[in-house]
Amino acid sequence: MKRGAAAGIPVIVLVTVLAVSGAAAGNDAGGSSEPELVLSQRFQRVIAAEMNAVQKGMLDLASSIPAGRWGDIITTGRGMINGYIMKKKLSEAEQAELKRSLPAGYRGLDGEFRDAALNMVRAAEALDMKAVNHSFYQLGETCIACHARYAQKRFPGFHQK
């Protein structure tokens, strides 16, 4: 499980579209009758860049949580909620276009990811490390759920059985 969340290494993405068949994903993260997720190369690149920033955030949290660095936890959590790259690289019109091209199940998992980050920020503000740690675990669950369902080309390991 941890391996899945931490194993991503930046790669040059060569494919022009990301076409993910929801029906083939084989897990229950969303409705299996959803349309495929098809992204332009540009959107895919931006998502990949965002993801690498998210992954760095998770690695930062893995050291700031055991060290009790509340301020760092809050800063990292807020960065995840706001998005590190998307808003800087995409115009408002492009952000709206991207949103339209994402299936409802994907947007739902993205919302769960943000909720977990928000809960973690609130727990850190309340100096509640047990709740911080719980939210960190929940964050990791959203990575796995979304990758298993919508990033199977990038992470084929979820479908090896």
Smallest gap from residue 129 Cβ to ligand HEC (A): 19
Smallest gap from residue 50 Cβ to ligand HEC (A): 8
Binding residues for ligand HEC, rule: CB under 6 A, are 5, 8, 10-11, 13, 18, 44, 47-48, 51-52, 54-55, 58, 106, 109-110, 113, 139, 142-143, 146-147, 150-151, 154
Rounded to 10 degrees, the C-alpha dihedral 51/44/108/62 comes to: -10
Nearer to ligand HEC by C-beta: 51 or 74? 51
Q: Which residue minimizes CB distance to ligand HEC?
A: 8
Query: How far is Cα 127 from Cα 74, in angstroms, rounded to an integer?
Result: 11
Smallest gap from residue 96 Cβ to ligand HEC (A): 17
Nearer to ligand HEC by C-beta: 71 or 156? 156
Nearest to 77 by CA among 47, 112, 46, 122: 122
- How many CB atoms sit inside 10 A of residue 54's CB? 21
Nearer to ligand HEC by C-beta: 22 or 106? 106
Smallest gap from residue 106 Cβ to ligand HEC (A): 5
Angle at 154 between CA 19 and CA 119, to 5 degrees: 100
Query: How far is Cα 14 from Cα 133, in angstroms, rounded to an integer?
Result: 36
